[in-house]
Amino acid sequence: MRHVIALDVGGTGMKAALAGPGGEVLHRARRATGRAQGPDAVVAGILDFAAELHAYGAEHFGTPASAAGVAVPGIVDETDGVAVYAANLGWRDVPLRALLSERLGVPVALGHDVRTGGLAEGRVGAGRGADRFLFVALGTGIAGAIGVDGRVEAGAHGFAGEIGHIVVRPGGSPCPCGQHGCLERFASAAAVSEAWAAASGDPDADAADCAKAVDSGDPKARAVWQQAVDALADGLVTALTLLDPRTLIIGGGLAEAGETLFTPLREAIRRRITFQKQPTLVPAALGDSAGCLGAGLLAWDLLASTDRMEVTP
């Protein structure tokens, strides 16, 4: 059976699948990234894992994978297939597409993890059917994916969708990117955890604890939460003004709070827009499988483009 390798590389673990032509998952696997051993070991682990998946497909489905799609964190040059930089993996300028193509003997597509997850959400998840969508992941940081007609825009230099570095509080908290007042310093899951730990006096408290306290009516929690919602709404309205998406998909750890987040966020956006159209605001649907599913879509897209080139006279 014709299939592709889908591989989602995270800071601590890798999720993989063999995916059939209709997107059906034929096989799943996980493995630790092994970043403690250094960037060279991480790259070697990715190559070995992909080779094992390739061999598994050949043994169990009668033929090896036709292509592979790989999603990685950090700065990614999708055109040249280079993993430019990832702070949490320690690598720089890794020609990952070429290395994987040589190891597997098949075409390989390389994508940014959040954009790849956004591709899956847009095509087969919460944004299915939307011609234009914006996917925003609220995790340790904040990143986004800009979807247009079934594809995700990478930008001229691979930086498109970095909504977490929109400045929403000029002169505010310093950000590792070098600016002050970036959105992710106020509205990421990490930022809410930090603010709630300080406000509650519990150094182990996190964003999930804050959401529970909001639901129980704790005034300190409500203040922390509202500050995050207001900052998020400011950043999102800037993005809406520039991009005019039909659907706004919110994922990541903070979105797990459900309507504790979505109800005040919808209202905060509504108060801020003037001429803009308020998009449909929905939670992400695919959870932590989005990156892997998106990697599979990248691989099938690559095969489709290759097939078209082969039949063009």
For every residue of 243-268, DSSP letters joined together read H--SEEEEESGGGGGTHHHHHHHHHH
**pTM of the predicted model, to two decimals?**
0.90
Task: Kindly report which listed range (31-40, 62-71, 192-201, 222-231) carries the lowest average pLDDT score.
Answer: 31-40
Helices 259-272 & 207-215 angle (0-180, nearest 10) = 80
What does the pLDDT read at residue 309? 53
Token pair 């969708």 is at which residue? 161
- Judge whether residue 70 has pLDDT over 50: yes
Q: Residue 312 — pLDDT band, cuts 50, 70, 90? A: very low
Share of the chain above pLDDT 70, in %: 98
| Neighbour-count burial of 293, counting CB atoms closer than 10 A to its CB (0-12 exposed, 13-18 middle, 19+ buried) | buried
| Neighbour-count burial of 140, counting CB atoms closer than 10 A to its CB (0-12 exposed, 13-18 middle, 19+ buried) | middle
Q: What are the CA-CA distances from residue 6 to residues 80, 117, 151, 218, 286 (Å)?
A: 19, 12, 17, 44, 15
Measuring CA to CA, which residue among 224, 217, 223, 171 is closest to residue 194?
Answer: 224
Mean residue pLDDT of the chain comes to 93
Q: Residue 107 — pLDDT band, cuts 50, 70, 90? A: very high
Amino acid 215 reads: D
Written as six digits, the tokens of 108 are 């390989």
Q: Are strands 68-72 and 4-9 parallel, antiparallel or unpaired?
A: parallel
Phi, psi angles (nearest 5°) of residue 186: -125, -25
Average the pLDDT over 303-312 and give the result.
65
* Number of C-beta neighbours around residue 228 at 10 A: 25
pLDDT tens for each residue of 193-240: 999 999 999 999 999 999 999 999 999 999 999 999 999 999 999 999
What does the pLDDT read at residue 40? 93
What does the pLDDT read at residue 311? 46
Rounded to whole angstroms, the maximal C-alpha distance in the chain is 70
pLDDT tens for each residue of 264-302: 999 999 999 999 999 999 999 999 899 999 999 999 999
Q: What are the CA-CA distances from residue 306 to residues 66, 95, 148 (Å)?
A: 11, 21, 21
Average the pLDDT over 75-85 and give the result.
91
Written as six digits, the tokens of 41 are 């070991």
